[in-house]
């Protein structure tokens, strides 16, 4: 069983106003790179979170910004009030996806 846009919006209400067909595109993209036999009972959750990540990345340059599109926090300073964020530079070429790619959103 795969996640549908209605289930996706229940899990991620921040995407409630996004058109279902747009969400379905990213659900389909997520399913293409996942092996349901490997993921087993966690496939639907993984598909939903990967689609949310893709949606956040798609919204990264939009006027309203995306949901949680900064990298993970890699440093903090309390008195100087500074925060550092990780980057997502691939190390295996332009088409590779490293852990950094997946650290660019909250998903």
pLDDT of residue 91: 44
State the residue for tokens 């009030």: 81
pLDDT of residue 102: 76
Sign of CA dihedral 72, 67, 16, 99: negative
Q: In a structure prediction context, what are the per-residue pLDDT tens digits for the chain, which is 107 residues long?
A: 679 999 999 999 999 999 999 999 999 999 999 999 999 999 999 999 999 999 998 887 544 444 444 555 566 666 777 766 555 454 444 445 556 677 778 88
pLDDT of residue 16: 95
d(CA 13, CA 86): 26
Q: 89: helix, coil or strand?
A: coil
Q: Which own/partner contact pairs does 92-99 have at CB distance under 8 Å and 24+ positions apart?
A: none
């Amino acid at each position: 069983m795969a996640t549908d846009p209605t289930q996706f919006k229940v899990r991620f209400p921040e995407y409630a106003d996004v058109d279902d067909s747009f969400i379905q595109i990213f659900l389909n993209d997520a399913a293409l790179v996942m092996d349901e036999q490997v993921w087993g009972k966690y496939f639907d959750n993984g598909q939903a979170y990967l689609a949310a990540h893709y949606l956040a990345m798609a919204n990264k340059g939009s006027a309203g910004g995306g949901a949680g599109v900064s990298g993970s926090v890699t440093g903090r300073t309390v008195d100087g009030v500074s925060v550092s964020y990780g980057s997502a530079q691939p190390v295996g070429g332009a088409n590779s996806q490293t852990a950094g790619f997946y650290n660019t959103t909250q998903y």
